[in-house]
């Protein structure tokens, strides 16, 4: 009887440690996210499941063109691409991105641009300066994305982390840029 109790107690301890370890990893290091909507098409599809790396931004800064997840509201997280960093001037002219006066290529938009027949993918705009402590984010599906053009620059402290791996559906597992 004592041996059975000891064995049961060992199993309970192992299970408790596993649950606590999983919770710590999910809360502090990595978390799953489901893409909700088409604002990141063609790069990400509605219902893609991804892993958010929370560690990277604890020890480093966001980089231009990272795909990030951030708290947009208390109830909703958004997934978008970092376009402007603190201090940047961001400008779109004739469907071309300029940052601080330098032209930047966006190859991830090429599939959409090739299909267009009715104007630019990205309407012209200018952001004079991305405030310190913020990033300017945009969805890849520029015509149908609620992003920094609408909600303003995103405070860095609201950014949960970077994501670049789709793990579900299995037929679509991939690393994205």
Active-site residue list: 39, 80
Write the CB contacts of 15 (distance below 8 Å, at least 6 apart in sequence).
none
Which residue stretches of 71-136 are H helix? 110-115
Q: What residues form DSSP beta bridges with 134?
A: 155
Q: How far, rounded to the nearest angstrom, does the alpha carbon of residue 72 sit from its chain's CA centroid?
A: 12
Element (H, E) at 21: helix 2-24
Cβ burial, residue 115 (10 Å; 0-12/13-18/19+): exposed
Cβ burial, residue 98 (10 Å; 0-12/13-18/19+): middle
**Cα–Cα distance measured from residue 88 to residue 84, given in angstroms and rounded to the nearest whole number:** 6
Element (H, E) at 28: none
């Amino acid at each position: 009887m004592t041996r059975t109790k000891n064995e049961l107690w060992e199993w309970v301890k192992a299970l408790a440690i596993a649950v606590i370890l999983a919770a710590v990893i999910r809360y502090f290091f990595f978390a799953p996210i489901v893409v909700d909507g088409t604002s990141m098409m063609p790069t990400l599809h509605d219902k893609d499941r991804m892993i958010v790396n929370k560690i990277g931004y604890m020890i480093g800064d966001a980089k231009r063109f990272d795909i990030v997840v951030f708290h947009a509201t208390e109830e909703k997280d958004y997934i978008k691409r970092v376009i402007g960093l603190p201090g940047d001037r961001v400008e779109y002219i004739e469907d071309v991105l300029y940052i601080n006066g330098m032209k930047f290529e966006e190859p991830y938009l090429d599939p959409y641009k090739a299909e267009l027949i009715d104007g630019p993918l990205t309407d012209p705009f200018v952001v004079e300066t991305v405030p310190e402590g913020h990033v300017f984010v945009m969805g890849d599906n520029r015509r149908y994305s609620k992003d920094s053009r609408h909600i303003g620059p995103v405070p860095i402290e609201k950014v949960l982390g970077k994501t670049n791996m789709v793990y579900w559906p299995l037929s679509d597992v991939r690393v994205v840029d």
